[in-house]
Amino acid sequence: MSEILRTEGLMKSFGELTAVNNVSLQVGKGELLSIIGPNGAGKTTFFNLISRKLKPDRGKVFFEGEDISGLSPHKIVSLGITRSFQISSCFPKLTCFENVMSSIITVKKRNLRMFSKAKDYVDIQEEVSRLLERVGLGDKSDQVAAMLAHGDRKRLDLAVALGCHPKLMLLDEPTCGMSPEETDAISKLIQEIRDEEKVTIVFTEHDMRVVFSISDRITVLHQGEIIASGKPDEVRDNKDVIEAYLGEEI
């Protein structure tokens, strides 16, 4: 499996707290990799360093063999790296259609003419419709995002991320706050997106049932450092991982 993402010695501190400490990680193209760890382990900070929401104190990030450590967040997206957040980042007053359309236009670098209707752009309309169908929101195209149920907002987040034509998706707690039924549906959707859209996915997650059922590989962070990495069965039996979770079921 060829490599799509690599970090070398990433570090980030906030005052005396070291949130990410010398993290070196490789992600294979087409891989479904989960990053787990107790609260405060540094998972979200690690994502923020890759997407350049935060600037690392030290270390480098490589994407498809190129050093992207000094690039702007906008440039990172244009290369094919997108992310979703624990709390939905969609525009609440826009419809599902308009939210996905905005991400597609950003990538296509097309500006809407003043007073033009979004659906005048046939190619964009077709792509938006396909993506909404892909995530199960085909019948809610004209619904305002603020009125969506929690699970549907998470689906919309995925559609918006896919609208950027990603090669790599960073998903931060994609099943956070969901019922068991919604969690199962989103977990299946993530697998389908990886397989059918040919996207590499790295995600953080607290639901161990999800982690161990869909991950190709699992990396465990504790106090900002990697303490284990491997296939699900290898991680499940790792003594350092069990100790980090203080005996919680993993």
Residues 183, 186: Cα–Cα separation, whole Å: 5
Domain containing residue 215: CATH number: 3.40.50.300
Per-residue pLDDT tens over the stretch 219-241? 999 999 999 999 999 998 899 89
Please check whether residues 174 and 51 belong to one and the same domain.
yes
Please check whether residues 204 and 109 belong to one and the same domain.
no
Per the structure, the count of domains in the chain is 2
Residues 136, 131: Cα–Cα separation, whole Å: 9
Q: Which structural domain range is residue 154 located in?
A: 88-164
Residue given tokens 């790296």 in the structure block: 81
Instruction: Please determine, for residue 248, whether its predicted confidence score (pLDDT) is greater than 70.
Output: no
Please check whether residues 5 and 33 belong to one and the same domain.
yes
Please check whether residues 73 and 136 belong to one and the same domain.
no
Going by the DSSP 8-state scheme, the letter that residue 113 receives in this structure is P
Task: Give me 201's structure tokens.
Answer: 């996915």
Q: How many CB atoms lie within 10 A of CB 99?
A: 25
Last residue of a domain, one of 164, 183, 203: 164
Please check whether residues 67 and 178 belong to one and the same domain.
yes
Last residue of a domain, one of 145, 164, 183: 164
Alpha-carbon separation of residue 187 from 54, 197, 201 (angstroms): 28, 15, 12
Last residue of a domain, one of 134, 164, 194: 164
Please check whether residues 101 and 49 belong to one and the same domain.
no
Per-residue pLDDT tens over the stretch 93-103? 999 999 999 88
Please check whether residues 248 and 205 belong to one and the same domain.
yes
Residue given tokens 């969690």 in the structure block: 183
Per-residue pLDDT tens over the stretch 195-208? 999 999 999 998 99
Q: What is the pTM of this model?
A: 0.89
Alpha-carbon separation of residue 188 from 43, 196, 236 (angstroms): 22, 12, 21
Please check whether residues 159 and 170 belong to one and the same domain.
no
Contact 149, 121 (CB under 8 A): no
- Helix count and strand count (H, E) for the chain: 9, 10
More confident of the two residues 104 and 187:
187
Per-residue pLDDT tens over the stretch 157-181? 999 999 989 999 999 999 988 899 9
